[in-house]
Amino acid sequence: MTLRPILIHPDPRLKKTASPITEVTAAIARLADDMLETMYDAPGIGLAAPQIGVMSRMFVMDCVKEEGDAPRPMVIMNPEVLWVSEDLSTYEEGCLSIPEQYGDVERPASVEMKWFGLDGQSHQQRFDRLWATCAQHELDHLNGKLFIDYLKPMRRQMITRKMQKLKREQARP
């Protein structure tokens, strides 16, 4: 397993639509391992392939937060939303591609998704609360959308300027 560098916003790859995965190859299995390791290392609760510059429709997540609870790594490919609740919930979201910036985003409180797993099988599951928010946030990444796109333009521009500054600082020798 290899830690992969995480792209920082703004980056054109974070604005693109990722392509469907057609088969579970050894390279895809390795990508999933690397993404999980990179997510846990960050640490984060979700990571989408475009965030490491791979334009494939895959994300990983693990929203188990209680210390001592067994981890529940999930690898989700070609996700589709089958149903969303009318109930909404608001979470203060963050993103590994937008470090240390947070904002309240309102989304459906529950979502039912269908996807393709590493076992080559189709899966379907309902996610609630934090899992639902995380799954929707990660699916957005596959469609070139970031959580800051839900914020007011002023706030979004302020965060983008901060990230541009951070990237300039990181680029300095």
In this chain, which residue has its C-beta nearest to Ni ion? 95
- Shortest Cβ distance from residue 97 to Ni ion (Å)? 6
Q: Which stretch binds Ni ion (CB under 5 A): 30-38, 73-81, 92-100, 110-118?
A: 92-100
Contact between 54 and 14 (Cβ < 8 Å): no
As given in the structure block, the two tokens for residue 139 are 């699916």
Q: Which stretch binds Ni ion (CB under 5 A): 20-28, 35-43, 77-85, 87-95?
A: 87-95
CA geometry: angle 24, 26, 32, nearest 5 deg: 75
Size, binding site for Ni ion by CB under 5 A:
1
* Catalytic option among 67, 93, 100, 138: 138
Contact between 113 and 82 (Cβ < 8 Å): yes
Distance CA(139)–CA(59), nearest Å, equals 7
Nearer to Ni ion, 115 or 137 (CB): 137
Answer yes or no whether residue 142 interacts with Ni ion by CB under 5 A.
no
Answer yes or no whether residue 95 interacts with Ni ion by CB under 5 A.
yes
Query: Is there a catalytic annotation at residue 138?
Result: yes
> Residue type for 141, please?
H
Distance CA(74)–CA(16), nearest Å, equals 23
Peptide bond into 12 cis (omega under 30): no
Q: Which stretch binds Ni ion (CB under 5 A): 33-41, 63-71, 89-97, 102-110?
A: 89-97
Nearer to Ni ion, 36 or 95 (CB): 95
Distance CA(53)–CA(12), nearest Å, equals 10
- Shortest Cβ distance from residue 48 to Ni ion (Å)? 7
Q: Which residues belong to the active site? A: 138
Site of interaction with Ni ion (CB under 5 A): 95
